[in-house]
Amino acid sequence: MNRLSSAARRAIFAPLDSEARVEVVVRRLGDAIALGLLADGEQLPGESDLAGRLNVSTVTLREALMALRQQGLVATRRGRGGGTFVQAPADTLHDRLRQTLFAHTIEELRDLADHYAAVAGGTARLAADRADSTDLDAPRRSLQEFADAADAPARARVDGRLHVEIAAASQSARLTREEIRFQTEIGPLLCLPFAGEQAHRTADRQHRALLDAIAAGDGATARDLAEEHVRDMLRPLIETRLDGTWQAAR
C-alpha cells in the first residue's frame, strides 16, 4: 500500500465548496482512486467523518458512495470489520489509454503540456522555498519505487504519486489538488513514454535532480527541471497523436 504524506491526504479529503454536488464528491474521490493515491483495499473514513471532512451532507456523501460503487471503485462490507473499501479500477489499461488519448485533439494536448509545465514549475519553486527534510520523505520513497518499477503502468502510477507528493511539499492544498487533476487527465497516458528503458532512466535522472534542487532550496533550478520533465513526458503523447497510430504499453 502506498504511503502518502499527511499533506497529500489532507488535499484529497480537504473541504469542498458548501454547495458541492454529488458529482463533485464522486470526481474528487474517484480521481484519487483511479490514480492509486487511495490504495486498493484501503478503508475510507466512516460516513459521518468523511462527510465532515469534505464539508458535505451525509445524504450527499451516501449518494456519491453509491455512484462509486456502481463504477466499481469502492465496495461496502457489512458487519464487524465492515466499512467502505477502495477497489482498483476494473477496466483494462489498453482501453483507458486509447480512450483518453484520442479524446484530446493535438491542440488540446499541446495546451495541456503548456499548462501543466507552468503549474509544475511553479509548484516545484514553492516546494524549494517551503519544504523541509521531512516534507521530502514521501517523494524520496516514491523516487526509489520509480527507479525499481519494472513496467510502464507501475512507472506511470509512481510518477503520478511522486508529483502529487512534490505538490504537497509546496504546502499548497490548492496546487496539490490541481496536480491530482492533471494526473487524472494524463496519468494513464504516461504508460506510453515510460514503456522504453531509456525514457525510464531519463525520467529517473530528472526526478533525482528535481528533488535535489528542492532540497537545496534552489527554486529557479527546480522550476526549470520540473518544466523540462513535464514537456519530455508529454512530447511522445503529442507525437503519437500526430502519427494517428495506436500501440498501448503492455
pLDDT score recorded for residue 242: 83
pLDDT score recorded for residue 248: 47
pLDDT score recorded for residue 250: 42
> Pairing between strand 74-77 and 83-86?
antiparallel
CA 28 to chain centre: 11
Asked if residue 249 is part of any domain, the answer here is: no
Same domain? 144 vs 167: yes
pLDDT above 70 (res 185): yes
Same domain? 173 vs 66: no
Q: What tens digit of pLDDT does each residue of 32-78 get? A: 887 677 888 999 999 999 999 999 999 999 999 999 999 888 999 98
Find where cell 480512450 sits.
Answer: 99
Determine the longest span between alpha carbons in the chain, in angstroms.
54
Domain boundary residue, one of 86, 116, 136: 86
Lowest mean pLDDT among 12-16, 96-100, 165-169: 96-100
DSSP 8-state assignment for residue 38: S
Same domain? 80 vs 152: no
Same domain? 69 vs 106: no
Asked if residue 1 is part of any domain, the answer here is: no
Same domain? 49 vs 127: no
Q: What tens digit of pLDDT does each residue of 18-33 get? A: 666 898 898 888 878 8
Q: What tens digit of pLDDT does each residue of 128-147 get? A: 999 999 999 999 999 999 99
Domain boundary residue, one of 22, 52, 86: 86
Asked if residue 217 is part of any domain, the answer here is: yes
In the chain, DSSP assigns E strands to 74-77, 83-86
Adjacent-strand bridge partners of 77 = 83
Residue 18: count other Cβ atoms within 10 Å of its Cβ: 8
- Spatial CA neighbour of 208 closest among 188, 227, 222: 222
CA distances from 108 to 82, 232, 240 (A): 43, 17, 14
Residue 88 near residue 59, CB atoms below 8 Å = no
Report the distance separating Cα 242 and Cα 250, nearest Å.
Answer: 21
CATH number for the domain harbouring residue 217: 1.20.120.530
Same domain? 112 vs 149: yes
Q: What tens digit of pLDDT does each residue of 199-234 get? A: 999 999 999 999 999 999 999 999 999 999 999 989
Instruction: Please tell me which residue, 180 or 165, carries the higher pLDDT value.
Output: 165
Asked if residue 181 is part of any domain, the answer here is: yes
pLDDT score recorded for residue 28: 85
pLDDT score recorded for residue 226: 97
What's the whole-number mean pLDDT along residues 73-92? 83
- Domain ranges, residue 50: 6-86
Domain boundary residue, one of 86, 108, 133: 86
Report the distance separating Cα 150 and Cα 197, nearest Å.
Answer: 9
Predicted confidence band at 154 (pLDDT cuts at 50, 70, 90)?
Answer: confident
Instruction: Please tell me which residue, 179 or 101, carries the higher pLDDT value.
Output: 179
Counting Cα atoms < 13 Å in the Cβ hemisphere of 107 gives: 0
Same domain? 135 vs 76: no
Instruction: Please state the domain count of the chain.
Output: 2
N-term to C-term CA, the chain:
22
Same domain? 32 vs 50: yes
Asked if residue 46 is part of any domain, the answer here is: yes
Same domain? 215 vs 114: yes
Give start and end residues of each alpha helix (H) in 55-151: 58-70, 93-102, 106-130, 137-148
pLDDT above 90 (res 162): yes
CATH number for the domain harbouring residue 26: 1.10.10.10
Q: What tens digit of pLDDT does each residue of 187-200 get? A: 767 777 887 899 99
Asked if residue 248 is part of any domain, the answer here is: no
Same domain? 140 vs 77: no
Same domain? 29 vs 108: no
Same domain? 80 vs 101: no
Asked if residue 250 is part of any domain, the answer here is: no
pLDDT above 80 (res 17): no
What does the mean pLDDT of the chain come to? 86
Find where cell 464522486 sits.
Answer: 26
User: What grid cell was written down for 199?
Assistant: 525514457
